[in-house]
Structure formats: C-alpha cells, structure tokens
Structure 1
C-alpha cells in the first residue's frame, strides 16, 4: 500500500490469480458524511467506503516530533465469494423499501408535542435542541402501555443498545416530577461515569423549564397537572456517587442520579425520617445487573422496599439484555414491553484465520463443525470447520514479523480500514496491557501524521496539550499513539484522561480506541465498527450479555449509517465462540441467593428503617423479593432464622418479650453508614480500639480509619511495603504497633513467605495489613504528592490510585456518620477535617483555596506561594493576573511556539475567569454567613 502526497490514495491488492481490485481511501479523519447523503457502494459488506475528497484548502499540519518504532503496513481486506455483488446491491437499498411509490402515512403521535404526552412546550423544545424531534414507533407503543403516563403502573422493558430505551424512562420520570411540586425521582445507574453523563444530559433537558411554564400548553381538560407555586421553579438535578464533592441531602434535589449504593442509602434515609412520601418514580437502568455477584443485590433490596411502601412509587426497569423478563415483571407488578428495533442496522461477523464470515451463518458453521466431528473423528475442528461456508472477505497475511499472528493482523487491518475511511472504531481487549499494546501497533499501521487534514492534526496536538496540562503527567503510550488518531481507554487512566480521550473520539480527532470491556457498559461511545480482539476478557470467555453490550456499541443514530461488529477468534476458542455467538442470554436470578450475608443486610435494613419489626412483617417483606418469587432459595426460612439470630448475637438488633425486633444504636449506625453487617462489625472494633489509643501527632491513623474495609483487589507489594515501613517516622511506627502489625512479618513476606488466612483471626489481620498499605498511599496524596508520582512509587496505575482516593472519600463520609450515630462527636470532627484534606489532596493551609473550581492540590500550592492565600484575594483578582500562575502550575513546562503560546494563554484566561467567578460565589457566601452571625 502506498501513500502519495495529498489526501486521496489508491490501493491495489491482489484477490485471486488474475484478479485485482482497486480501493480509494482517504486520510481525512474526523469529518463524517452528512446525514441523509447517499452512500456510494456497499454500506455493510466489503471495505468501508472512504469519504469523498472535500474541495477545501488545507494548511500544513502541525509538527509532531515522532521517534517511535518503525512503521507497519496493514493487510489488505479483499472481497471473496460469488454473493458479494448481490449483497452490495441489496445493502444499497433503504430498509423496508417497496417497489411502489405510495407515500407512508404520517403518524402525528410520534411528535413529542402531541397532546397525549402532555409535555411542556419548553421540554419539547429542549428535546428538539438535543436532537430528538420525534420518537420511534416502538417508543410510542411502549409509552401507551396501560397507566404508564399517569404513573399508575410499573414498567419493565427491553430494547437493544442504541435503540433509544432511555428516552421512554426520561419521559415517564419527568412527567412524575412535573405533575407534583414536591415530587422527587431517582435514576439508578451502575457506574459513576454513567451518572456523570446522565446528570449533564438531564440538566440540559430541563434547562429553562419552570413549574409555571409547565402549565403552558397543557389542555384545560387535564385538571390537577402542574399546579405549582411560584417558588422553587427550577428542576434540580443532582448526582450522587462515591467520592462526589456534593454532600446533597434528600431536600436538595428533584431528580437524583445515583449509583446502586447511593440510591439504597438515600431511600433508607428517607424512610427513616418519613420523607419517602415525596418519592414518585424510580428508574433502574441495566436491570439485568440485579444478579451481579457484587452489587446487584442492592437493586433488589431497594426495589423491594419501594414495593412494600403504602404510597405508590412508579418503578421503571430497563435493559438491553433481559431474557426472562416475565419473572421481573411479576416481581415488580409491571407492564412489559420488548423490542428488537435498532435505528441503525448492525452487521455481525466472525473472523477466523484471516477469513471474515457473516454471523448469520454461525448456526450453519456449528452444524458443519459437528458433522465433521461425526463423520471423521480424525478431522480437526480447528483446521477444517469452514469447508462448506464461503467467507465474505479475506484478510491477506502480513509479511511484518509483528503481524504474523492472524488475530492481531485482523484487528489491525479492520481498525486501519475504518480509520482511513474517516469513521470510528472501538477495539475491545482482554486486559489493560492488551489495550495499550493494540493502540501502539494500530497507530504504527496508520498513515504518517503529516498526511491528515490540518484541523484534525491540530485537534490531536490540542489533545496532547490538554493531557500534558493535567497534574498526572502524559502517558508515554498516549504520547506515541495520539498523533496517529489512536488511544486506549481503561481504568488505569484517571477520570480526566478518560474524559479528554472520549471527547476527542466523539469529535473525530481520535479514530480508534482500544478499551477493556468496562467501556461497553460504562460510557456512551458509539463506533462504526466494534472489533473484539478475542472472545476472552481476562482469562474467562466473555458472556452473552457482555458480548451483546459490546456489539451494541456499533452504529448509533446521528453518527453512522450502519454498524459492524467483528469477533476475532483464536483457533483454540473456535468451538466456544461459535456457541457463544448463538447463545441465549442467561436467566436473571436474585443476587441475594449467592451470599447469606446479603440476607443479613436485608433484614438489618428493614428493621432499622422500621419497615418491619416482627417475624410476620419480615416474611411479608421477603415474600416480595425476587429471591422468593423466582424460587431460587428453597432454604429461605432457614437462612432468615439463622440471620436474625446472628444479628441479635452481634448486638445489631434486640428481640423483646413481645417478639418485636428493634435496632440497637450500633445496628442503626451500620445502616446509616451504608455498611454490610460484617464490615460494620469490623469498623466498630477498629473504632473502639482507636478510641482507646488514637495517634494525633501525625496523620496516618486518621487516614487508616478512612481506608475502605472491602476488598480492593489490590495485592500488597511486600517489597514496597518494607521500603515504606523503613521510612516511617516515630508517630507512624506507633500507629503500626497499635494496629498489631509487626515489622518481622513484613520482612518475612518481602522475602517470599505466604500470608496465612486460614482462620477468622488471620483473615482480619490480613485485612488490617492491606488497609495500612493503602493508607500509606493516601498519606502521600494528602502531602500533595502528585498522583502519577504516587502511582510510580507503588507501581500501580494512576487510575487505580485515583479510584482509591475517590472511594475513600465516600467511605470517609460513612465512617463520620457512623461516629456521629454512635455518639463519638470528637472523633467525627477530627475525621471530618481530614475528609476535606483527602478531597483536596492538600495540607490544611490550602483547604480554603481548594474549594474553588479548578484549584486543587498542586495548583492550590502555586496560588498560595504567589500570595493568593484566601478566597477573597482570588475573588478580587483580575483573571489576567491569574494566567501566569496557571502557566506556572502546569506540570510540564515545555517551550511552545509563539502561536501555540497564544492559544494556551487564551485557554488559561477562560479557566482563570471561571476560577474568579467561583471564588466570588464562595466569598459572597462567607460574607453572608458573617452577617448572619452578627
């Protein structure tokens, strides 16, 4: 393949003897075909068609200094098989087109302004501005289900990823919030990234809507709707998640967007203080996760409590991967709706030994493979499974040493072909290391960075600049791959890095992202092509639900005309993969059945929130659980009796002479702080020990108290532990001694010994060692050590360190509540102070500055050292005064050209303006508080 100077290139490849095919490709990245423009050639099968060359003048692209490994050339992907021409002709026709010229009937009920939806005019306008002018027929049919729009019936529905399922829930939820001025709604999502994304969406959606405006456009024949008072007109959307900076309460939101944990805690609190009556709707996304081994049971606890309430709370559950929707509907007493509609067609392929087969033929493939084994036991399935099946396309072998392995060669060829055509590709890998390796090798096979359009090259240069400006330093792999439009995305990156990469991909500057499977469900990043490097995520074969989630990222309305999903299969995995591609989705079951400790938590919660206090009431509650309705726990009665006895023995509840269960102070503290009973007992023992001997001439003991008690899946590096132990000061060594940790044990472990965890005492001691090791990392962060430096010090990914810090912030809030509930006010006050330090990542003298937007940790120190030591000093500063300080605060002060320097100063001036505005708001609040005191 040769790349000539300019944008349009011809590539001639051999397909079969005597046959040549010429393809035109372009390196104009980031410019997608306008919607509605006819597509030249095939949309689904064959090489992705390159975008037409634009008649525009391109400047010389910015210069990237590239000193990486030698360039590679991706293999050609050529058509094969007699049916290709027919497939091309068929794929060029619009779906559902007919030979006649009859015009389709117009369905006015697809307009959101239709009276049957009774939506405020401003809300309809906001939907339109966000790209939703009308709804799909399936969405209309779903919303017209019995009693749904009036809030009289619950709903469980299933729709493919990218099929528009969230819109149905948004409409129902907004109607509940708008029809009652005191109404609240909760939207429950599994991941923090989804919570943050949904908060931004909903805030845009309700912008400009006041309760008075909600009355406008509503028919007079609809009495009682949207009768609001003039006060509190704005709809408040607040996000709740672990490590969040906002300490909002039940009274502070109208729509709360929450993780599983936060939603359950909010509902418990509202039931305790009897404010739950204002809750009118709860939406649970990714409902299939109710049987997740780690967190899904919280959804079941939450929903079952809502079902047990005296007042009606409309529950809406949705998912793209529900198989036994009937049992869920029975549990929630809900109307059901199922659709397979996707606005963007999805073509699925299996790639094996350089051949690309349509997924629709996998059943025939499985039949052929089975027949081969039946007819001749000596024929290897791995070598002869496809003799009767014609591939759609063939990926030529690659002469490069690095691309000899067929799966890797296919991944690179498919990704490069997508990028050259100006589309986006997601490559799902089995590990973080695999993501980075794939990003590096794909970038080496893409054209020279000087041959892309100037605006795209400039956008990539800006992305590198933005990443360098973060306090975490620039990842060397990203520095190598981004100039070629390739990046990776996994939990080892910080939240800020992932956000910048996702935004650059969405804008077209990045064309290929190599990601772990968590991206499939964790954030909304559509792609023209989804490429699975293999069928394994880690060591295990990917499940049918996750496979559907990943494939569902291919093709999104407004982004692409078609989606394509390619599963690249290794020889040893062929049988498993063929079965996987046609496998049924697993049945959703109760997560309570997998661990009796979860039944304990369920019982403790309902007793503490006064939902049930007798055995009859307890069994009535349990009768409403998915666990009981699905019949997945035949020994439920035995588990309940054992759990109640254990809760009494641990001192969490009492049983009086009237056979009534009552919570103890300790039990209420555990529920209030959102702990499992077992974890709560451990925290109680640790707090009791700290109250007898708490080290206050240092910070390590406080930070240890903040370290979460649940398993972080972070193995201790004992050699690093020993080095850190040898550098501890007297105060820190005293903490170690009080906790019962011995230097001799650390030394022995560093020499290769194995930590015994056979008994309960040994397991608890192992937990203390692990918490202390993590507390050392928190100590470094609170001493203003940059996050990337801490990551290098402990040989851990930056994103893991950041996640630890964020999780500790959420856990710290729970420990503070625990202490307050137990009457340990002095301990709570000490912990609260250090919680602010942990959030700021700074020493005490910077806490005031760290409240200002964009000023945290190192940046706060630079401001402080330059004389800006109070909120008032920054509030009264001219933003132009702050630009040199922000320049100084950059972690990498590289010399820039004059034009780049000007661009950077312009960006920093915008940032400085936001900083002064934030400081002004805080300063005004401080002055008002002083006036109130006077």
Structure 2
C-alpha cells in the first residue's frame, strides 16, 4: 500500500514522503484496511520493528488535522522521552498555526499539569495518566485519540492494574475516543482486542528477516541450517560476538543479573578491543570522558573501562546519563556490544545484528532460578536485525547439551507467547483504585463500583462475583481510616481526596497517620523510617552481614522509631530491619555521604540511589501534606527533609543547591570555601570560583545569578590536565573492588 493512496492531509503525506517512507509494511496496510484512519479502534500485535509507531502517528496526526488531541501512554520514562523526541519532528507539519505541539509529563503525581492542554500530543506514563485523571485535569476530556504502547503489560503485577483502570476510566470519560493499542505478539491478543472493541492486526511479519537459533557444539543451529563459529576463546558467547563484528554487525547480550552483565562486558571487551581501529578508539574515548564526568562512583570507572574497549553494560543501577550515553553510543555504532539485564528489551528502540541470550533463567525469591516466559524471550529476540541496515537479524540462545538445545527449540523458538491475564483481583491492587474511582465520581455507590469493575479487562476475563468480598474489604478499610463515608451513597472525605491526589496507597497513608499520631517527638530518622514502612516504598533486603550491624543501630536508636517489633518474631523483625536499612540509605543521602560510599555500603548503583531518593521525596511530600491536614507539628520538618532529599544535602546548602547546575558536591565545595550565599558568590574573585568548580561550570553559575564573565583562560586546568589513564585508574583493581 502506497503512502500516496492514504486518506490523510497532503501535509502529513508529504512529511512521510520527505522522510523516505513511500509505502507501508503489510501489517500497517492491514491496520489501514481495518479502519485505522476511520477512527476505528485497533490492536496491533506485531513484532518489534514492524512499524507499530507509524500506525500511532498516522492516527494521531489525522485526528489533529480535524481538531483532535492525542494521548500517548508508555510504561517507562525512558520510552516517554524517546517518543517525545520523535514526535517533536511533527512541529514542521503545518496542520495548524505553529505546527503540531508536543508535551511530555512523567512525574509530580500531585500536579494537574493543565499547561499540557495546549499541546496536540501529550506523552505520559500510565501512572502519570492515572494521576492526571485523579486530579481532574480538564483537558483529559478533550482527548480524541489514545495510544497505548506495550499494552501486554496489563499482565504485569506492578503496572498492570494501573494501566487497566486508567484505560477503563478513559473509555468511560471519552466514549467516542479512538484507541490504538500496540504490543508484541501475545497469546490471547483476540481477547484484549475484544475488550477494547478493536480490530485486531495479528502478524509475524518483519521488515528484516529474523533467524532464531541455539548455539551448541561450535555452531549456531537453526531449524534448517547451521552456522559454524570459530572458537577463538573459551567463552562461546564471546566467539559469537567476534563472528558478528567480523561481519560488520553489533551485538546485544542479555544476562540474568547486573553482576553477570558487568562481568561479561569486561571479559568481552578484552577481545573486542583488539579489533577496534584508531578512529573508533578516538570516538570511544570521547564517550569515556562524558561517562567519567557524569558519574560519582567506582562503577562509572568500570563502565568507562568497558566503553574504552568497545563494550558496555546497561541496567537499572546506572544513572540516567550513563544509560543515555551507552544507548546513543550503540546507535551510532561506536559501542559494538551491550550486555544488559532484561530492562533493555522492554521497549527501547535499540536493535542489533545479533541478540545473544546467555541465560534464559531468572532468579525468583520464592522458587530460585526459573525459565523466563516466552513473551520475554520474544521481546529480546525481536531486537535482532536493524531495519534497512542489516540483511537479517539473528537471536541466539546458548545451550550446554544436545538435550537442552532441543528443549530451547521446543520451549522458546517454536513456542507461542503466553496469554496475558488481568492482575486487578488482589486487594492491594484494588484498594487505591477503589478510592480514586469514588473520588473522581466514576462511581458513587457500591453497585456503581461493581458496574465500573464490570468494564475492566478483569471482568472481561473472569466472573466478578469473586471480587465482591475484596471490594467490600477495600470499602471497610477506607471507611475505617476516615477516607470514605456513607453507606448507600459513598463520598470521599477531605483526607480521602488528598490521599487520592497524592497518588499513594491508602495503606501507606494509614501507616503514616498512625505513626504521626503515636510519635509526637519525631525526628529525621522517625520520619524516614515511617515512609520506608509503607507499601509504596521500594525495600532493601538484608544481606548476610547486615543483621548484626543494623540490629546494633536499632538498639542505640530505639527511642527514635515509632515502634520496634519483638526481636523474637523473626519474619516481622527482619522486615523491620530491612525498612531501617532503606531509611539509612536515604539518611546517608541527605547527609551528603558520597555516592560512591553509599553505593559500596548498600550494594546499589547510582541509578538505584536516585530511584530511592525520588521515591522518598514523593513519600516525604505526602507525609508533610498528611501531617498538615492532621495539624501535626512534624509537617514543617518533613517539608525540609523533602527538599533535602531532592538535593541530597544538609540544610545549610539549600540556597546554593537551588542554583541550576550546581549539585550537592560543588555546593559543598563552595560552602566550605566560605562562599555560602548567592551574595557571597557575586562578591567572589571569578578566578577563585573557577579553580573551585571548574571554569565552564563557574561561568554557567555566574550566568544563572545574572553575571556574565569569561574566566576560562584565567583558571588552573586542575583535573582537566589528568590523562585518561589516570582518571580510569588501575583497571584490574578497580573492577575487582567493584565486584566485591
């Protein structure tokens, strides 16, 4: 099907023709035939790189040309940023004055973000979309096209219920709205399509041929052929990588854990570096400099060492700047190999010639090492083959025996993806959504609540009689904790409305309020532990050496906790110690302990520390708001701790860290040198300032406070004069320390 034949405005057509897109892929053509451009709902369950995003773009742009507004829902912030950057290219399409406007919203769950309403396309995570609905954001009723990316995440225990309830609300709020749902192939796609009242586009077609095989016995074995791999090293996966690079391709390697991904990236780098040419090495050295600049831990040196060798690792423990540097370096074909945990397969557009799955098992805390689902394998395998760049893509599982090879063919390569199932049935999933449904007026009675549930994917798959008791338990809990009132007519109290707007679990609110009521003389540790008790907080687990250390801390500070459980109740007390450990990480963060020390002490990455800080900031903000409503004296203290969590600093640095571009490390350096306020900085010698924090940073700082001084040539070069080798340090000892 030719682009010229589509029923779309000439300006949209010309945009794609100018982009080099003249015809559609078969699945895209099928979506058009099933009414994509006629406002019909569509579920496209097709492989990665088969053109799902183009379907969404065509539907959104067609709607905008008629005065509509589009909402694009994604599961991850990184994916939101990627889509936002892509859609900004539409600003050149003159469908209206000023071109197509695009906005993005992923954080601050208490904000209405009314300003986003001026945009034609709004990109948001499912959680942010849910919060916008809870906060009664007015422009949500103007949405005419909803795109749901990765809709198979309805099956996720964490994200699924929120996505499901959000979609149900949007369909009720905007009954005439067009829904475009995008997914990898799922077993029961027809069932999801039926729930969405959508035409189903189900296809295995790919623009680049995908060959799925298993490595065993010196060969990649496909169903009808073999490819011999030279045994240059003792590691089979490294041999496959070297073969790929010799053919001009790149590799994605999926590992079962962060530690394994780091270790393999380094081992592979020792061999990959031998085949890099000088121009490539120079390009990699530029990335290395940026990695070192963007990191504060030993892990950044390990990453830099790997990148210098042409490899990298990628997992949630990396900070966002490092992840972006790795992704961009790989897209530009400078980094040849990325070794990743499965996070990379979850939606980011990062294809490679070959995908190697070194481990098809994942650790489960209840069952030990377990095989991954077929759907997860298909997500990884689907990354193989860059459209228009690679003649083919290959995904390779690694087997240790002939029997295992046969098993991998049967259980993964030849297997269909599993069915997905709603996870809305549990009380912990329903509790928060029952409250928000009543707060927003989607239901005002118990019967109305059950009627709302009848519209969910859960009800589409199951009889809802089993939920009646769970719903009643949720209602009883919410009434008992003063968040709902009434019998026949259900009404949210002031507290209930606040809890829904804050976007926290009602159980979290109940724990916080009970703790504040019990402990009148709260301090920093009290409040930090209180938020770490909530189900909304991610918990650190106790390692073998933690019990004694944290137990000793608890005994010394017992009076500062709301309550210390009985030590002889093993499970309860160990869980309590895990909460304390989490609180201690945040306490270290706000007391300016170095990122590297926190990373080593708690065995976490920079990305984890930032994730804990972000969660803690949100929950401390919620605690402050709840304390104020309860007229509790802890409200002001919580507000200050919230700011300290945001910046990771002590109270005296608040003025300095509030200057854009001056983080806690530079702020401390300035403060300790006597420059403690903006007024002090304005009076300071620019050369001294440059020597303290670097010339470029000093110039930016001065611009931020309204002064324009060029000090670059006057300052000492300091750290800039260090060689790359001295920055990286001793490669062997650095990595050994990191792995320990």
TM-score scaled to structure 2, two decimals? Answer: 0.84
Asked if structure 2 preserves the Cα contact closer than 8 Å seen for 1:184 and 1:280, the reply is yes
SS in 2 for 1:347: strand
Change (3 A) 1:249 1:718: farther
Asked if structure 1 preserves the Cα contact closer than 8 Å seen for 2:112 and 2:132, the reply is no
**1 CA distance for matches of 2:142 and 2:623?**
28
Change (3 A) 1:865 1:633: same
**What is aligned with 2:612?**
804
- 1:494 pairs with 294, 298, 319, which one? 319
Asked if structure 2 preserves the Cα contact closer than 8 Å seen for 1:782 and 1:841, the reply is yes
Asked if structure 1 preserves the Cα contact closer than 8 Å seen for 2:272 and 2:311, the reply is no
Shift of 1:288: 0.6
**1 CA distance for matches of 2:20 and 2:705?**
35
Give runs of aligned pairs for residues 443-462 of structure 1, distance below 5 A: 443-446=269-272, 448=274, 452-462=276-286
Shift of 1:612: 0.8
**1 CA distance for matches of 2:585 and 2:298?**
21
**What is aligned with 1:418?**
244
- 2:263 pairs with 430, 433, 437, which one? 437
Shift of 1:155: 2.4
Give runs of aligned pairs for residues 499-510 of structure 1, distance below 5 A: 499-510=324-335
How many aligned positions are there? 697
1:689 has 2:482 as partner: no
Shift of 1:198: 2.4
TM-score scaled to structure 1, two decimals? Answer: 0.68
**1 CA distance for matches of 2:253 and 2:330?**
13
Asked if structure 2 preserves the Cα contact closer than 8 Å seen for 1:165 and 1:318, the reply is yes
**What is aligned with 1:326?**
190
Give runs of aligned pairs for residues 620-769 of structure 1, distance below 5 A: 620-631=451-462, 635-656=466-487, 659-690=488-519, 692-695=520-523, 699-707=524-532, 709-710=534-535, 712=538, 714-717=540-543, 719-720=545-546, 722-723=548-549, 736-741=559-564, 745=567, 756-757=570-571, 762=572, 767-769=575-577
**1 CA distance for matches of 2:544 and 2:359?**
34
Is the radius of gyration larger for structure 1 or structure 2?
1
**1 CA distance for matches of 2:159 and 2:283?**
39
- 1:540 pairs with 354, 367, 370, which one? 370
Asked if structure 2 preserves the Cα contact closer than 8 Å seen for 1:842 and 1:856, the reply is no
Shift of 1:531: 0.7
Change (3 A) 1:312 1:736: farther
Greater helix share, structure number: 2
**1 CA distance for matches of 2:549 and 2:469?**
50
**What is aligned with 2:583?**
775
SS in 2 for 1:446: helix
Shift of 1:237: 1.1
**2 CA distance for matches of 1:674 and 1:352?**
50
Deviations 1:814-871 (A, max 9, x none): 4445446x35486444433322221111223333443444321102333445676556
Asked if structure 2 preserves the Cα contact closer than 8 Å seen for 1:186 and 1:257, the reply is yes
Shift of 1:512: 0.9
Shift of 1:414: 0.6
1:259 has 2:125 as partner: yes
**What is aligned with 2:220?**
356
Q: CA RMSD in A?
A: 3.6
What stretches of structure 2 of length at least 5 have no aligned partner? 364-368, 708-740
Shift of 1:642: 4.3
Shift of 1:549: 0.5
Shift of 1:643: 3.9
- 1:199 pairs with 72, 75, 84, which one? 84
**What is aligned with 2:640?**
833
Q: Which has the higher contact order (CA 8 A, sep 6+)?
A: 1
**1 CA distance for matches of 2:609 and 2:197?**
43
Asked if structure 2 preserves the Cα contact closer than 8 Å seen for 1:447 and 1:484, the reply is yes
- 1:344 pairs with 208, 211, 217, which one? 208
Asked if structure 2 preserves the Cα contact closer than 8 Å seen for 1:354 and 1:394, the reply is yes
**What is aligned with 1:518?**
343
Asked if structure 2 preserves the Cα contact closer than 8 Å seen for 1:535 and 1:573, the reply is no
Shift of 1:282: 2.6
- 2:166 pairs with 302, 310, 334, which one? 302
Asked if structure 1 preserves the Cα contact closer than 8 Å seen for 2:298 and 2:596, the reply is no
**What is aligned with 1:614?**
445
**What is aligned with 1:33?**
none
**2 CA distance for matches of 1:298 and 1:551?**
28
**2 CA distance for matches of 1:874 and 1:170?**
49
Deviates further, 285-294 or 514-523 = 514-523
Shift of 1:613: 1.1
Give runs of aligned pairs for residues 31-50 of structure 1, distance below 5 A: none
